[in-house]
Structure 1
């Protein structure tokens, strides 16, 4: 089978397609033929050795797949053969191997995928869908004015919709292009701002009657976090779900304390359990199947174009979910 690896850190071109043996499903395992493998920003960072954890090399990236069960091992439910499934590899302690034509996993780790959900959409509802869902559970939007950063991205586009469904009084989308702002508005945002424009926090303040937003969901970090404080209301909450630096200094923290504001950190993995992941994904799949949650597809690339897929994310050319289609 074909799989994607990188044997050194660097730009997208370090990704290469290699031939590997098709894995044999062991006892209790299933062999899944991959129809879509999700790409996440943290994999871009990991490839460049800019992630919090440095992986061993060679590294075979990919933490979420969707496909069809092709074979089973001994002691596995025979009814799984031919089933459409989603496999959140990251949630079962496996942070590798998804960029491939086949993956062998425990039969208990697969989640049934309704016929109404495409394999590509399923990938968009795993890392990113679960992140959006748990962000709103930890910091509920009901009755509050909220700001969603990177609102046209995989997490942001889902956050806009779930915050609207969750009863937010106002959803303001922050995005860096006219196209991305228009997308966020089409998904249910009330207002959209250009976070690359000077003075954008003051624009947010004006749109909230000079009060500011109650919650900022920041999934990017960097200088945005520091600038966003000017858009945060007294007693507001800055939720940091990014994987990079946040740009906050001691003076910023002191200012937040004076305004009774708070910072909430967010990390998805510690919030997950095997049973919870299955039920959470079933909830997200049901919403999507009913047309009440839209997964924005950001592009499909064959395995041999994995480098181009990484570049599309790294250069912020993509919106929504980018996938590989072996």
Structure 2
């Protein structure tokens, strides 16, 4: 089978297409023929050794995939054969390997897909959908004004929709181009601001009457975090979900204390017991299959063009979910 292997750190061109044996499902596992594999920004950071954790090389990138069960190991229900499933590899004992023609995963983690849900949409609802879903569980937006950074991206585009469903009073999107701002407006946000403009925090404050928003959901980090503090109301909450891209210093924290603001950290994996993972994905899949949540279509690349997919994401030219199609 083909796989995309990372043998050394560097730019997009370090991703190599290699041939390797098709994996054999072990006891309790299923073998899945991959139909879509997700590309995530943190994988771009891993490729360049810019992530919070340095992975051991060589490795096959890819923490999420969807496809069809083609074989199974001992102890697996034969009825899974031929089913369309999601493979949340990030929650398994082998959290990588999705950039390939085949993957194996524990059968208990393979979540069936509704017939009405495409492989690409289901892929978008794993890492990014679960992040949006649990950000709102951890810091509920009901009755509050909120700002979403990178709101045209995979997480942001789902976050604004789920927040509206959960009763947020005002939803403001931050994005980096006119096209991305238009996309967020089509998803039902109340206002959209271009964060490439230096006065964007003032525009956020103006959209909510001058004081700032009650909650900032920050999945970008870095300079975005510092700027977003200028859009946060006194007593507001900054929810930080950009592991490894910290933008706050001691002066920022001191200023937050003086304004009675709180900082809430967010890490997805510790929240996902097997039961919670399965129930959360099933709920997201049903919402999308029923048209209650729209998955923003991103770019699709053949597996052997993974380098081009990484380049698109790295240069922040993508919207929605970028997927590889083996």
TM > 0.5: yes
Q: How far did residue 247 of structure 1 move?
A: 2.0
Distance in 1, matches of 2:277 and 2:172, equals 29
CA drift of 1:227 comes to 1.0
Aligned residues: 326
User: Contact conserved, 1:222 with 1:244, CA < 8 A, in 2?
Assistant: no
Cα distance, 1:275 vs structure 2: 0.8
1:67-78 maps to which residues of 2 (within 5 A)? 67-78=67-78
Instruction: Give 1:243 deviation, angstroms.
Output: 2.3
Q: Which moved more, 1:47-56 or 1:90-99?
A: 90-99
State the match for 2:114 in structure 1: 114
- Distance in 2, Cα, partners of 1:227 & 1:130: 26
Q: Does 1:135 align with 2:135?
A: yes
1:106-255 alignment, distance < 5 Å? 106-255=106-255
Deviation per CA, 1:249-292: give whole Å up to 9, x if none: 21211111111101111000111100110000000001001101
What is the aligned partner in structure 1 of residue 266 from structure 2?
A: 266
1:79 equivalenced with 2:79 (yes/no): yes
The answer as to whether partners of 2:41 and 2:313 remain within 8 angstroms in 1 is yes
Q: Unaligned stretches of 5+ in structure 2?
A: none
Paired position in structure 2 for 1:325: 325
In structure 2, how many angstroms separate the alpha carbons of the residues matched to 1:52 and 1:96? 16
User: Does the Cα contact within 8 Å between 2:38 and 2:65 map onto a contact in 1?
Assistant: yes
Q: Is residue 226–residue 246 contact of structure 1 (8 Å, CA) maintained in 2?
A: no
**What's 1:299 paired with?**
299
| RMSD (CA atoms) | 0.8
1:80-121 CA deviation, whole Å, 9 max, x = no partner?
Answer: 010000010101232211100011222111001011110000
1:57 corresponds in structure 2 to 57
Kept in 1, the 8 Å contact 2:92–2:106? The answer is: no
Q: Which runs of 5+ in 1 are unaligned?
A: none
SS of equivalent to 2:54: coil
Question: More deviation in 247-256 or 270-279?
Answer: 247-256
Distance in 1 of aligned mates of 2:164 and 2:286:
17
Q: Which moved more, 1:21-30 or 1:170-179?
A: 21-30
Aligned partners of 2:92 and 2:105 also within 8 Å:
no
CA distance in 2 between counterparts of 1:35 and 1:133 reads 24
Q: Show CA shifts across 1:119-164 (max 9, x none).
A: 0001100000000000000110100000000000000000010111
Q: How far does residue 199 in structure 1 lie from its aligned partner after superposition?
A: 1.2
Query: What TM-score do you get using the length of structure 1 for normalisation?
Result: 0.99
Does the CA-based 8 Å contact 2:114-2:285 persist in structure 1?
yes
TM-score by length of 2: 0.99
Instruction: State the distance in 1 between where 2:74 and 2:257 align.
Output: 58
User: Corresponding residue for 2:48?
Assistant: 48
Tell whether the 8 Å contact from 1:2 to 1:19 is kept in structure 2 after alignment: yes
